[in-house]
Amino acid sequence: MFDITQFTPTDTTFVHLKSPITEEKLYLGKGDAKEPVGITFHSPGSEGYEAAETARTDRALVRSKRKIELTAAILRADAAQFLADITVSSNLAYPDAGDATGEDLYKALYADRRFRWAIEQSNTHLSDLGNSMRKSQPN
């Protein structure tokens, strides 16, 4: 029998962002000291990701119960909230968020349509479950 438990997700996954113009990976610093620019998310299948999915479903149920009509603005805000909920950390500066930190900072960033390219890269990475699997699998 095949032991399916050899394919389990990691708790987090790192999205190494690429330039939206050149597709080259972005780095801070130079030479050996350069650090990848990106965002660390809770991986699909992790407790943090599952909690964010539950919160997203709960928000949808509340809207349904209150008969709140869905609009594009509500869907965008909910998508930004979900990404903020699954974000663990990043090395991005976002001065437009003022003194905001943590979830508030990320929610503001993900709601800003100017950075759609970073959101698209993050969603693409998260949708490929192979990116969240443990790299060394037992035999």
Q: Does a structural domain hold residue 7?
A: no
Q: How far apart are CA 106 and CA 115, in angstroms?
A: 12
Contact 86, 120 (CB under 8 A): no
Q: Does a structural domain hold residue 45?
A: yes
Q: Does a structural domain hold residue 6?
A: no
What is the three-class DSSP state of 67? coil
Q: What percent of the chain has pLDDT over 70?
A: 96
Q: Does a structural domain hold residue 101?
A: yes
Q: How far apart are CA 74 and CA 132, in angstroms?
A: 29
Tell me the residue range of the domain where 41 lies. Answer: 12-132
Q: Does a structural domain hold residue 36?
A: yes
Report how many helices (DSSP H) and strands (DSSP E) the chain contains, helices first: 4, 5
Number of domains in the chain: 1
Q: Does a structural domain hold residue 127?
A: yes
Q: Does a structural domain hold residue 19?
A: yes
pLDDT tens across 70-86, in order? Answer: 899 999 999 999 999 99
Q: Does a structural domain hold residue 139?
A: no
pLDDT tens across 73-124, in order? Answer: 999 999 999 999 999 999 998 999 999 999 999 999 999 999 999 999 999 9
Residue 138's pLDDT band (boundaries 50, 70, 90)?
Answer: low
